[in-house]
Amino acid sequence: MNGEVLLSTTEHLPGYRVKKVLGVVSGSVVRARHLGRDIMAALRNIAGGEVKEYTELLAQARNEALKRMIEKAKEMGANAVIGIRFATTAVMSGAAEILAYGTAVIAEPAE
């Protein structure tokens, strides 16, 4: 491994074995809607189709939550996170939390 943290939504990393489980790790971000995006979304809603402004907003939030989870895993000494999941929760009207979580582990190449 080259200093990168391996990420997997599965419980196993092909070609690796889990040497030590360090524990649950998570990262989250709360994002609020933006007036400009709301106006564009309302117009798209009338015409139909994908609401790209919200797709982009949620993609940015997921990426930030994942980045924060990875940083916490590194702080714990992990070189991999397995069983990664995402969850979304409405915090208040117009704002949502995106949560990324998984199990931080130390993995080594299988022999």
- The domain limits of the chain are 6-109
Q: What is the β-pairing status of strands 80-92 and 6-7?
A: parallel
2 has a pLDDT exceeding 50: no
H/E stretch holding 63 reads: helix 52-76
Assess whether pLDDT exceeds 90 at residue 6: yes
Would you place residue 100 in the very low, low, confident or very high pLDDT band (cuts 50, 70, 90)? very high
Please write the tens of the pLDDT for every residue from 30-67.
987 655 555 555 665 666 667 677 778 888 999 999 99
Residue 74's region, left for phi above 0, alpha for psi from -120 to 50, else beta, is alpha
CATH of domain 6-109: 3.30.110.70
- pLDDT tens sequence across 61-94: 999 999 999 999 999 999 999 999 999 888 777 7
- Give the residue, 111 or 98, on which the prediction is more confident: 98
- Name the token pair of 38: 């709301």
What is the spatial distance between Cα 23 and Cα 36, in angstroms, rounded to a whole number? Answer: 40
